[in-house]
Amino acid sequence: MGEESQQLEQLEEIRAQEELEAQAQLTSSQNKESTKRLGALAFWSLLIISLIADLAEAFTLGTIGWFVGLVVDAILLIKLGFSVRKQMGWLIGVVGIETIPGLDILPLRTFYLLFARYHLNTI
């Protein structure tokens, strides 16, 4: 009877260890999924619409381009806000500066996308 209880205790310990390992693997796989980079097609699409908005703002000196910029800023916040949680402060700062008439001529959206993609490796 003593041997059987020891074997049962050992089996319970092994099961508990296996459960802990399975939970650790699950959390590590969830962390990997949450740090996924944006796909190439999505990145280039965002870069192109960002370039279009920056050019529209530069050529119209902030009139019609300002409204185009607001739409593009909303698209960037929606798309990147879920994938770039670490850089959310930077993104909000760029969008905030882009909504100020006069400063919206600067191509900050495009610089942010390129910088985040190739230097920070977050997008």
- The structure tokens 């990997």 sit at 32
Question: Beta-carbon neighbour count of residue 49 at 10 Å?
Answer: 17
pLDDT attached to residue 8: 77
Rounded CA-CA distance 21/76 in Å is 38
**Residue 104 CB coordination number (10 Å):** 26
- How far are the Cα atoms of 2, 27, 86, 94 from residue 122, in angstroms, in the given order? 57, 20, 8, 16
Half-sphere CA count of 37, side-chain side, radius 13 A: 13
Crossing angle of helices 88-98 and 108-118, rounded to 10°: 160
Q: What is the CA radius of gyration of the chain?
A: 24
* Residue ranges of domains in the chain: 1-34, 40-118
**Nearest CA among 29, 32, 49 for reference residue 41:** 49
How does pLDDT run across 85-120, given as a tens digit for each residue?
666 777 778 878 877 877 777 888 888 888 887 876
Q: What digits encode the pLDDT tens for the residues 36-81?
A: 567 788 888 888 998 988 888 888 876 788 788 888 888 887 887 6
